[in-house]
Amino acid sequence: MKAILTTFLILSAVFLRAQDMKNLDIITPDNKKTTLTFEETATFEIHSLDSLRIYNHAGVYRSTLKAVKGVLLKDILKDISFGEESPKVLSEYYIVCIATDGYKVVLSWNELFNTSIGDSVMVVTNIKAATNGEQEDELALISPKDRATGRRYVKQLQAIKILRVRL
């Protein structure tokens, strides 16, 4: 009986962790949290890439993602209030994308909403298929227009924090 209960608790924890991995927390500068469920990502326009070669910081090829599908990060964030007083201060905001293992990448508000890079930064919704089953978690982040695509490749994307530069 003890073994059955232990097995049940372990399986429950694994199941709950797997369920959490399908959600994306978005945290604003005033610490308000919005949770975007995996199912809600389907309400955004889906974008596709035939493939994306992943290069490390030194320009060395690491892997290829195939048949990538996802939604633009700027589409997810466009209706989130940053708490800005005027559009002029949007230049002071930056976005931190965080993986479950603590890996973080940063994009500025201007980079995301005011450059061609923002037209391609994508939250990947089919990462398991795109990696041929090598990655189990549902969400990842990629920036296909970067030279070193691996630097802003966030596997197991868990949260996005919107912060303001304070000097």
**Furthest C-alpha separation in the chain:** 63
133: left (phi over 0), alpha (psi -120 to 50) or beta: left
pLDDT digits (tens, 9 = 90+) for 137-146: 789 999 999 9
**H or E element in which residue 14 lies:** helix 2-20
The answer to whether domain 2-164 has CATH 3.40.1550.10 is no
Question: Between residues 138 and 101, which one has the greater pLDDT?
Answer: 101
**22-56 per-residue burial string, b: 16 or more CB within 10 A, e: under 16:** ebbebbbbeeeeeebeeeebeebeebebeebebbe
Q: What is the pLDDT of residue 5?
A: 36
Question: Between residues 12 and 150, which one has the greater pLDDT?
Answer: 150
What does pLDDT average to over the chain? 86
CA dist 111 and 89 (Å) reads 14
Domain locations in the chain?
2-164
Model confidence at 71: pLDDT above 90: yes
Whole-model pTM over 0.75: yes
